[in-house]
Amino acid sequence: MGHLVPSGATPSRIDRSEAARLETGIPAGGIGSYLALTLLVLFAMGPIILFVFNSLKTNSELAINPLGPPLQPRWSNFIDAWVGANLAAGFLNSALIVSGTILGTCFVAIGAAYAMARLRVPGSAALLIYLIIGSALPTQLFITPIFYLWVKVNLYNTQIGLIIIYIGLFSPFATLLLRSFLMGIPVEYEEAARVDGAGDWQVLWHIVLPQAWPGIVSIALVSGLAAYDEFLYAVTFLQDTDKLPVSIALYSFQTSTYMRNQVLVNAAGVLMMVPVLVFFLLVQRRLVAGLTAGGLVA
């Protein structure tokens, strides 16, 4: 049975040090390639830069100068947006939801991936197929039943309720990813430890976990980002304004304020976007490796 994600260590797709990989055998393209790529850079970055510009204007300046840099940057927009969109609570709630999701997803995925990759449990082929199908099923299929179930057990409109949902939704993919990572780790240390009398738990704790660290970081980053950006379940399952994560705080600010005060909505959006972009630059290698793992089947 093959697996969804590549066996072996999650490959680092963006890797400066692999000088050997630079030579791909294709003739170099010259200046034309750089020009075409620069156009793509403009397409990717232009809207983001303009968005930052438009968060620093006044509404009246936006009307006459929508596509240029701000004439007089109004930094106070960020303060007004911070207060107006209730972003302090939003970031706190997001931090709580994201860290809960990461902890839970990692806990669930580590155990299952370890069992599937190492313990040769009967039925693990069926489990694998379930995980592949489970990670591709539409989340819309579950939302109504979970909603009524959560109302019944008082998990509706609670952050822990949302965290449990995220763990459930993200765990199939995280398990698949970590399983393939574990399969790429040599078993010799584990066998040696078992000869010395170590049990499953000791092997997991002392031998596997320290080696699986990069894979665990990958699934933590992927599930954390997914929880930070998620929209459908967050907008459905949280009601009270003081419980909303920053994405939904921004969304309600958008729907309530957009017509009257567009620059403030932009400023709130920039405040939510900047941490993710900075974070992305800091951990890009691991994050990209994790996010693209599902697509790398070659």
Distance of CA 198 to the CA centre of its chain: 35
Q: Does 140 bind other proteins (CB under 8 A)?
A: yes
- Give the footprint of other proteins on residues 65-94 (CB under 8 A): 66-67
Residue 57: CB minimum distance to other proteins, A: 10
> Where does this chain touch other proteins (CB under 8 A) — which range of 42-50, 83-91, 187-195, 210-218?
42-50
Residue 84: CB minimum distance to other proteins, A: 14
Q: Does 149 bind other proteins (CB under 8 A)?
A: yes
Q: Does 134 bind other proteins (CB under 8 A)?
A: yes
Cα separation, 248 vs 229, whole angstroms: 9
Residue 136: CB minimum distance to other proteins, A: 5
Q: Which residues are within 8 A (CB) of 232 and not within 5 positions of it... i.e. 6 or more apart?
A: 139, 140, 143
- Give the footprint of other proteins on residues 204-233 (CB under 8 A): 204, 225, 228-229, 231-232
What six digits make up the tokens of 161?
């309720």
Give, rounded to a whole angstrom, the gap between the first and last alpha carbons of the chain: 15
Q: Does 284 bind other proteins (CB under 8 A)?
A: yes
How deeply is 75 buried, as exposed, middle or buried, from its count of CB atoms within 10 A (0-12, 13-18, 19+)? Answer: exposed
* CB-CB contact of 141 with 254 (8 Å): no
- Give the footprint of other proteins on residues 1-20 (CB under 8 A): 2-4, 6, 11, 13-16
How deeply is 90 buried, as exposed, middle or buried, from its count of CB atoms within 10 A (0-12, 13-18, 19+)? Answer: buried
Q: Does 165 bind other proteins (CB under 8 A)?
A: yes
Q: Does 126 bind other proteins (CB under 8 A)?
A: no
